[in-house]
Homo-oligomer: A and B are copies of this chain.
């Protein structure tokens, strides 16, 4: 299987009320095809949806982080690891002040799966294709240094690929049971987006995944979680 990933640069600064799908359509370097997966950093979605707040002091930012948190897992210095209102566990409830006008912070989209659905349906209607859409954020990992992009909103895709019962090359049942393919796609797309390069969208071509998962299915339920 071959995979191709290309960035969609030149989208420019996104304002409240902008239509993210229209911005993508105008900036696409080549036409979308069936089964393409359009990966969108949440920041442009949040900005288009108006999920931006003024917060120029550490105090104000901390108040917003706490308001966006349904629970706090750990604190160390300025760092808060919290459960967002959606259920995601991440630093500072996803509240971020990079790539936004100084003095403001960007929140996570209120309902990232719904945002992904809207973008997908507009892109599909405009192009006559069947697509997947992933909305991403950049999360840390408890035991590993460095950040990676993960899926916080999905549409048209399964949250997990279930290999339970699949046999390996020896005919034994696989121990690996569920693969978080949408997180792997988010990570792959980040490789062409970078962090400061003004490329908030990428297209992953060559996978053939269809499903109707929800991003929250990627969150380990508290009773399975040994590390909350």
Residues of A at under 8 Å CB distance from B? 1-7, 13, 74, 76, 81, 89, 96-102, 138, 141-150, 159-161, 163, 166-170, 172-181, 183-185, 187-188, 190-192, 194-196, 198-199, 206-207, 217-220, 224-228
Q: Contacts A169-B196, A174-B196 given; 12 further ones with Cβ under 8 A? A: A1-B6, A2-B6, A3-B188, A99-B169, A101-B170, A145-B217, A148-B179, A174-B195, A181-B191, A184-B191, A187-B188, A192-B206
A51 CB → nearest B CB, Å = 17
Tell me whether A142 and B174 are in contact in the complex, defined as CB-CB below 8 angstroms, given that A1-B192, A5-B5, A207-B191 are known contacts.
no
Q: Across the interface, do B3 and A172 meet the contact criterion of CB distance under 8 Å?
A: no
Q: Across the interface, do A97 and B175 meet the contact criterion of CB distance under 8 Å?
A: yes
Closest to A3 in B: B5
- How distant is the Cα of A97 from the Cα of B173 in the complex, in angstroms? 9
**Residues of B contacting A161 with CB < 8 Å?**
146
